[in-house]
Each structure stands twice: as C-alpha cells, then as structure tokens.
Chains A and B, each alone.
Chain A
Amino acid sequence: MTASPTTLKDVSTVSGITVRLAGDSGDGMQLLGTQLTNTSALAGNDVATFPDFPAEIRAPRGTRAGVSGFQVRFASEEIFTPGDHLDALVVMNPAAMVTNLGDLRKGGILIANEDGFNEKEFKLAKVESNPLDASVIEEVYRVIKVPMTTLTRDAVAAHGLSQKIADRCKNFFAMGLVYWLFGRSLDPTLRFIQDKFGKKPDIAAANEAALRAGWAYGETTEAFGESYQVEAAELEKGTYRNMMGNQALAWGLVAASKLSSKDMFYGTYPITPASDILHELTRFKNFGVRTFQAEDEIAAVCATIGAAFGGTMAVTASSGPGIALKAEAMGLGMMLELPMIVINVQRGGPSTGLPTKTEQSDLLQCMFGRNGESPLPILAPRSPGDCFDIAVEAWRIATECMCPVVILSDGYIANGSEPWKIPDVAKLPKIEVKHPEGSDPDEPFMPYARDENLARPWAIPGTPGLMHRLGGLEKEDGTGNVSYDPANHQHMTDTRAAKVNRIAERIPDQDVYGETSGDVLLISWGGTYGACHTAVRNCRKAGHSVSHAHLRYINPMPKNLGELMKGFNKVIVPELNTGQLRMLLRAKYLVDCIGVNKIQGKPFAVSELVEAIQEHVSTAKGGKSESDVRSKAG
C-alpha cells in the first residue's frame, strides 16, 4: 500500500472549515463523515461533528425524507460546535441539495454529484427542474459539478464488480475529493478500508481505487484552483483520540468499574440513541462486563437493581420512552437505597417523538417523573468527551450516597465527537466501595443505619449475620422493617431528600466563564454547552458584560449558584425545550430567569444565541426587553 500523495497546486491556509456531506440514506454519508472526522482529528485539528440522519432506516430513495447528512468542523483553534454555516457542501442528489443549500454561506463551495441530477431524481426530490441550473446558484456559490458515479465506475472497472457494487464505492470517491480539497491524508482511511474489507480483497481494492481517483480528480481538474489547509490546533499537551459521546459513556463506565474494583452489569433494551452504549459495552467482557439485553425496559432496570443488591456495579440506559417505563423501578431503587446508574440519552419527544433528533425535554421527567417524593441526583455531560468524566462521577456519587444516579445525555452529544485527551489511568482517583463484613448473629443488623453522607450500608447477600429484607414499602429508620408510622414516613422522606441535597457539599462550586457579576449571566446545561460557550465568548469579544455558567450537576445544584445569579442584572437560560431548567431555577432561587427556547429537533446555532444575548445585554442595565414581556406572558 503506497501512502498519501501530495498536492502540487496552491494551498491556502485557513483557521477552520465547516463541511457537510449530504446524500441519500444509502449513500454512506455517515461513514464518509466519520472518516473525515477521524482523519482531521489525527491531523491535530480540533473537531466537532453533527450527524443528522432520518428516522427510517431506508427512507424512500432520492426523497427529501431520505436525506442523511454529516457535518464536521475542523479548526486550528479550540472549537465547541460544528459551526452554524457551511464553507463547503457536498451533495449526492437533488434532494440533498435543496434541503441543505440554505446553510451554505455565500461564496461557499458546492460540490455536486452531477450523475445524481436527472429527471428521475428531480421527481423524487419534488423539484421542477435541475436546481444546479438555476442562475443564482452560480452567482452566490462556487459550484463544482463532478460526474462521480461515472468516474467511480471507470476507476473501479478493473476490479470486475457488478455495477451495483461498483456504484456503492462513490462515497469513497467523494471522500478522496474532499480529502484533496482540505489537504487530508488518505492513510487513516486506507487503513480503515483494509481493516473493514480485508476479507473481501476485491471490494477493498475497489474502494481504495475510488478514494484515490477522487483525490486525483481534485489534483488534475481545472475546477479547483487551490486547496485548503487547516493547521493543527493548540490543544493541551497530551495524547488524543477522537471520541463520540456514547462511546465515552461506555468507556467511563468501564473505567468506573475498574476504579472501584467492581464487575459491571449493564441491563438495557435497544432504543435510539442509547443503543450504541450497549454495542460498545459488549466488547468489554474481558473487563468483567456482563451485558443483558432484556425483554423490555422494565426488565432491564429491575435486573439492574437485582445486580446492585448482589453488590455489583449496576447500570441501565434508555431514552425518554424507556425511562418512562423504568419510572416505577427507579422509585424502588431510591427506596431500597442501592447504588446504580440510570442513563437517559434524550431524544425529541413526547411519545416516540423525533427518534433521531436531539432535545433536552426529559429533565423534568427525570427530576419528578416517579410516584411520591422520589428525589434522585442528576448529572449532565456537556460534550462527548465529558461523558467519560460524568460516568465516573455518577458512580462515585451513587456509592457514596447509596442511591440511583441519573445521567442526562442527549442525541447530539451521543453521536457527536471531539478530540479526547487520553487520561493516565494510574492517576485517576480510586472509588472506595465498602461492604460491611459479617457480624455476630446475635447483634441485630441495622440495614438503614446511616453514615455522615446519610448513606446506609451496602450489605450484600452471602455475608453471614447481615440478613435483611428490602422492599418498596416504607422503611422504619435504622431497622429497615416495614413501617406505616406517620412520623417515621415524614422522617424518612426528609432524610432521603436531605441525602440528595447533601451531595452539594461535596461537588465543586459552579464555575463561571467571565466575571462573577455583570449585566447578563447565561446558564446552560447538557449538550448546548458548545453553542452557549461560543456565543458568550463572541459577545465578550464584542465588549458585552456577559458571563456563562454551565451546569453539570443539576440535582442538587452547586451550592454557590443562587449567590452567583444574584450578581447579574439578568439571567438567561437557553434550552432545547420550553423552559425546564428555567422552571427549576425560578422555583428554587426566586430569580426571574429568561428563557431562550427552541424545540425543533436541532441544536442551537451560535448566531441565535448571540442575538438573544445582545438583546438582553442592551436592556439589562435599564428597562425590560420585549422578550421578557413575552416570556412572562407565556
């Protein structure tokens, strides 16, 4: 295998590129996107990605509903989002073009697979004529038409594949062309082709030929005068790898299991976008991971509780609809006071909602969606890489407190990726887990005696002398016996709440980006971190008095948060829901937070947030803005 060729054309250096690859859901756009991401990360760029695919596995070919897209931004500076506007858009057919063109910036590059633009495709995409022929297109964008299908067929002809299979290689052709345009090395993808198709040498050879042909096309055609280069980003020193959110959650769980010297049990039922955690964890049996694909979500969470009772690190995950099913058992887990982790990878709701799109609308579900007073700690990762740390932290809290801990991730984080600095395992703090030892059988065992964290002992079956019975009926303090005593119920309810609230004593204070007082404080949580951080950074550069607090701990909240909010004239809370965190903040701190809310299955664009911040900064010193009035009326 020969290595990457090098270009002889002009190369201009830019600080960052945002490119989106869009085609039919069968065109291999996700693969193309993932390869481009990995290759860019390996080149030392900071990267952020946003895959966006249809809910149907194979939506009708060529239609707008079937368009699958993958957006990646790679940059020589630290970035937090995959970008609002595209510098380049690659489209494989008319449907992909008309649904994505709106995001391409003026002067941006549009690369179209000319072969995909014919009468049949126009009909499928519901366009009257060839959208590439519209005169405005050539005026506004740099349009490059490439007959990718024909060129791919020529390139792979020598390998004697059927036309259908040959045509499937065209995503590698597109990849080669994109790699040339942005000065990417072919090597990682050549390695990938060998790994993936090594057992089918003719397919491997054809894909490689298509990849190289795409690259050569860029180098030889007159259409491209120059290519672009993005230098390595100045990231913190260390060894990096590219990391996706669900993968990071899985790895964080395995790490937590090792750090606490516990085997892991993972009980789950498939659901988008949580399933990949299961797929990833099944690879780790040699780490002592047992995965259980249950008959439904209820079985999954209950088996998890059973494993926790036995003394294992127990984890379950789902998305909103599955969490709804788990609710009764989560209440039991809280009542039994057993440590475990419940992950919700949120997606658009309600009900089946928008399965492949992102949303943050399960916060109140996780906070309150159980019968009775049932408080649980809630943590939320802010980015794909942060999922690793959150998983470890969740397990630490669960064992310290003896209760289930909820992790609220979302589809955007789960499928997105970013460079992840590989930690030194030896330096990761251990998680000390204690089980009481067998005691004198004549001494009555107190399964609900409490330590300084108000946690009860994790006595596990098999230990002599500590036999006890747990259950969902109210427990008498100390003995754990069933009790209907009114005063005891009050006491136990208060104690369970106090136990969760006390976690605030042991978590870090809320950190702030910017000053600790000023005109506007923006408070965010979860996957909107990148967009919020970038928006605040841009506004600060423009001289505005605005700071940013991003919550990773949602229940309980950091203990300085109330004080912090008081230092600002206005607090704005952007969320991909209709105002769930805002409701909690208002209720808890009696601060009149202002919502910036979007619920379209799409992440925030930085520009949307910048606009919102600017509007509020301008009025923060004095009167009320129009949207204050609106949000109050709503």
Chain B
Amino acid sequence: MNLPVLKAADFASDQDVRWCPGCGDYSILAQMKKVLPELGVPREKTVFISGIGCSSRFPYYMNTYGMHSIHGRAPTFATGLKSTRPDLMVWVITGDGDALSIGGNHFIHCLRRNLDINIVLFNNRIYGLTKGQYSPTSTEGQVTKSTPMGSIDHPLHPLSVALAAEATFVARSIDAHVKHLGETLKRAAEHKGTSLVEVYQNCNVFNDGAMAYAQERKQRAENVVELEHGKPLIFGTNNDKAVRLVGNHLEVVNVADVPADDLLIHDEKEMNPSIQMMLARMRYPEMPEPIGVLRAVEGVATYNEQINDQVTLAKQKKGEGDLQALFNSGDTWEVA
C-alpha cells in the first residue's frame, strides 16, 4: 500500500504561532515537525499534551490531536490517555516551571512508572508566561523580577531528577543545535518507555543568553560534550579534550596527555545509573555539559503494557465479565 508521504508542513495547524520573535521555542517546533514524518506514525495517532507556560502553547500549533491542560499536570493526562489508548503516540510538552515546580510530583511518578510516552522539557531557567520570575532551574544568585537580590534557592537539575527516578531514557539537547535536536527527538520517540528530553531553550525576553555558553556555536565546542554510545567523551574546538573517571569523580584531561584506554567510554545502556548521574552533574563552567542520550535502557516493562496485560490476564482467568452472573454471585434470596 502506498501511504501518502507527509512533510513537515502537514503537521502545522492553521493557528498563528504567537511566541516572541527570537524565542527558542520556534526551533523546537520546527524540529518536531521535521521529525514526525520520519516516524511513520499517522497524524491522527499522534497526541501532544502540555501544561501551562509559553512552551505549553505548542499543541495548538500542531495538526495532530492535542490538549493544553493545566499547570504542571500534563504527565497525568498522558497517563490516563496512554493507559487506555496504548495505540497512540503521546508527547508531553512542558517547561522548567511547569514540570519541576508545580508538576514536580507528577514528573517523578511518570518517569518511575515508565509510561511509554515522550516528555520534552523546554528549559529556559525562567518563568516566561508570567513574565520573568525565577524558576526551579534558575541559577543561585540569579536576579529576576521576584528575586531582586538574587535567588537563594538551590537549583533542581531535571536530568538528575530523572535518573534518580530511574527513568529509562534521559537526554539533553539545545534549541539552536537543530540537527542534534532533531536526532535526539527521534531517538526519544523510538524508545519504549518514558523518554525525557531536556532542551536548553533561550527566552530572549526574560533570560536572554542564560545558556549562551551552550547555545552559541562558537562557545559550544568548548563547553559542551556530545555523548555517543560506546565512544569516549571528547570535546573542544580542536577535539583535544576529554573526560575521564578518576576514583569516584570525573575530570577533564588533554587527549594528548593520557593513554586512550584511560578515557571514559559512554555507556547509555548501563542499568546502574551511577556514572550517568555523574554525567548529569557535569556543569558549566567547571565541566563541559553533556548533550545527547545519557541513558537508554531497554527491557523495563511500561505502565501501559502492564495495566492492559492485567486486564487481558483477568479475562483469560475469569472469562469476560458477566454482569448478571456478578449480580447473582454470593448470598441472594428470593421474595415470592
């Protein structure tokens, strides 16, 4: 059968996109539209569910099924939908405030249940929609509308949280690094289980340049290391730096100074998340920040599979439910 080949444009809804000019959200939207046709899932089988925030307007712009829900709760709507409709491909679109502040609880529980959905977390380290208050990922000391003397909160790191919840797929990408972003989204979609992709997203209105060290092409090579399964963590403008494990911490070395065997080889398939957690804790400016897939483990049962398997098993064991038989079971009596 010849299925019509869809293009990125086919995934665009008829609604005007209303983000601020220059917002990183545009690039993520563009990559999503580009990747979806490659997945071969029909538009009507694709659902975007978001919470509240600038990023959460995303579903309105996609010509798929979608739901713009309430603040922080998108993973829970996805749980109900995917548990009852495992045939659908479900994406959760969320922001750092949405996922980690008001929705922190649901974020953790969704990951630990390993529901087969994809979460894309737009991290701009600020509240955009409510006009510039600090968020759980804002850096310590960050001056914002609600922290004139600097934030005193210690930031939360989404990848660390996800690994602590033993998420089966954990990755990071960058709005401006479009090719990498597209590939990462694609891998997330292909993963069975909850996949989390944190995307560094520039809010050019309230937090412009907060992650320029990673976003700008020139700085990126020095400050970011692209992870590849089975490969050493080499980075730098001249590919001259690498990361190695010494004792129980990671350090940066010059490739030329150490034997190749000493370099840390990335293993995204390792079930024990300890080293992956070390990667998640590499932070600018002390360390290069990893992008790509930190963890992608297979063979962990998904929530939606299991909830449906129990139904199938119960039907096999007890037979399809019979109302009249249920009503008449146990102690009954006749009134003549």
Contact = CB atoms under 8 A, between A and B. Distances in A.
A423 B327 contact: yes
Given A302-B70, A306-B77, A471-B69, A311 B85 contact: yes
Nearest to A237: B335
Given A239-B334, A254-B321, A254-B323, A307 B73 contact: no
Nearest to A285: B314
Most chain B CB within a 10 A radius of its CB, from A234, A312, A314, A426? A312
Nearest to B43: A467
B55 interface: no
B269 interface: no
B79 A305 contact: no
A465 B64 CA distance: 9
Contacts of A239: 328, 332-335
Given A241-B330, A302-B76, A467-B65, A286 B335 contact: no
A286 B66 contact: no
A332 interface: yes
A110 to B, nearest CB: 30
B201 interface: no
B81 A472 contact: no
Contacts, number: 207
A425 B323 contact: yes
A564 to B, nearest CB: 33
Most chain B CB within a 10 A radius of its CB, from A300, A467, A473? A467
Interface string A241-277: 1100000000100110010000101010000000000
A288 interface: yes
Contacts of B49: 306
B87 A462 contact: yes
A251 B326 CA distance: 9
Contacts of B310: 285
Interface residue tally on A, bucketed by range: 35 or more
Contacts of A123: none
Given A461-B47, A464-B42, A310 B314 contact: no
A42 B318 CA distance: 27
Interface string B303-334: 00001101101110111110110111011111
B80 A314 contact: yes
B68 A473 contact: yes
Most chain B CB within a 10 A radius of its CB, from A290, A295, A310, A312? A310
Nearest to A290: B307
Contact of A236 (B70, B88, B335): B335
Interface in A286-319: 286-290, 292, 294-296, 298-300, 302-312, 314
Contacts of B84: 263, 265, 290, 306-307, 310-312
A286 B314 contact: yes
Contacts of A303: 76-77, 79-80, 83
B73 A302 contact: yes
A504 interface: no
B81 A307 contact: yes
Contact of B335 (A44, A309, A311, A329): A44
B76 A294 contact: yes
B248 interface: no
Interface string A173-196: 000000000000000100000000
B45 interface: yes
Contacts of A438: 44
B78 interface: yes
B77 to A, nearest CB: 4
Contacts of A422: 327-328, 332
A468 B49 CA distance: 12
Contacts of A267: 80
Interface of B: 13, 15, 42-45, 47-49, 52, 59-60, 62-70, 73, 76-85, 87-88, 105-106, 109, 307-308, 310-311, 313-315, 317-321, 323-324, 326-328, 330-336
Given A254-B323, A290-B311, 20 more contacts: A241-B327, A241-B332, A286-B319, A287-B323, A294-B79, A302-B69, A302-B76, A303-B77, A306-B76, A306-B81, A307-B81, A332-B70, A425-B327, A461-B81, A461-B88, A467-B66, A470-B68, A471-B66, A472-B70, A482-B60
12 contacts: A241-B328, A292-B79, A292-B83, A296-B105, A298-B73, A298-B76, A302-B79, A306-B82, A310-B80, A461-B45, A467-B66, A469-B66
Lowest 10 A-B CB distances belong to which pairs? Answer: A306-B80, A471-B68, A287-B321, A303-B80, A285-B314, A306-B77, A302-B76, A307-B80, A306-B81, A469-B66
